[in-house]
Structure 1
């Protein structure tokens, strides 16, 4: 059994059933309809929330256990959620497919894979599409309240500004904040996040 299958095999939702707070705070920017992609969506809390906002959501993850829990959460919330089981390194990033792309705490990816994912996120956005990203920054190594514990996998403002320079960036933040997401993300955290739009 993989690390993530093992982690998701308990009854509880490891990161909770509520959406990521930063993602939810962008609700006013979301289109009223359209297609959304939730990458490395795990047990589905963010994909399900996007579906609750009226979007047609594809939830990607490499854990079949996580995606089964995502389907259960979608059924509980009475929304439709499409899922795709794959290793993100094998995703083909279809061009201009999605109106919204969300990537929340997918920091298992080292620099090379991360750069591929970032480029794919931009590629798969439709013109005018919205990208929402949040991850941990370097001070997270001190706080130890979640994340990979690997410096090169963490974000900085400069990194995100460079990698998403093709977008109109209207939020780029670096701050310490309290996180309460299930049992796995709890406490003071170094958060780096971005919201951007692809030129239409």
Structure 2
């Protein structure tokens, strides 16, 4: 499905970053090591790389990663990309200053829990976790995302997945998306930025 979605000439979710990414990236210092999980066609990774961050982008779709590299070249930045099946991925330990998961809601609950554990593992102590996606309220909208409430988020769900983490930003809100044909129209969104405990 994803290879088919990403194999066209156009960018399914556009070439500009999610507003959450653009709004929150100030929290990261130049040169920070950043992992982007299920990055897709590169719109968020390219924006972060343009800020002087060192980006490693994971995705399960080779066509998506090829387009990410194409977008990076067009914008004059460099990315490291890796084709990865997140159901089998061996997560690194304490390797990154920040980890991003933006619209990663393809995952049913068991896989989501495994991905969240992996993201936590990959962060250095004191590192920043950035999550952005659709609220359960998104079921009322037609702007994208899964139609299964179990794959959508609440702030309670995210906070429970990272117990003891310091919350730097959290929000559950409505917005209008204009992110290519994939995300277009009124949307119910969730943001979370949290700090991995130092020990």
* Common fold: TM-score over 0.5: yes
Q: 2:186 aligns with which of 181, 185, 188?
A: 188
Match in the other structure for 1:127: 125
Q: CA deviation at 1:199?
A: 2.5
Aligned 1:35-114 pairs, distance under 5 A: 35-114=33-112
- Cα deviation code 1:117-146 (max 9, x no counterpart): 111111111122111101111121111210
Segments ≥4 residues shifted beyond 6 Å: none
Where do 5+ consecutive residues of structure 1 fail to align?
none
Match in the other structure for 2:23: 25
Where do 5+ consecutive residues of structure 2 fail to align?
none
Q: CA deviation at 1:171?
A: 1.3
TM value normalised by structure 1: 0.96
RMSD: 1.0
Say which SS state the counterpart of residue 136 (structure 2) adopts: coil
Work out the CA distance in 2 between the residues paired with 1:98 and 1:133: 15
Q: CA deviation at 1:183?
A: 1.2
Q: CA deviation at 1:36?
A: 0.5
Q: 1:198 aligns with which of 174, 191, 196?
A: 196
Q: 1:179 aligns with which of 177, 186, 190?
A: 177
Match in the other structure for 2:7: 9
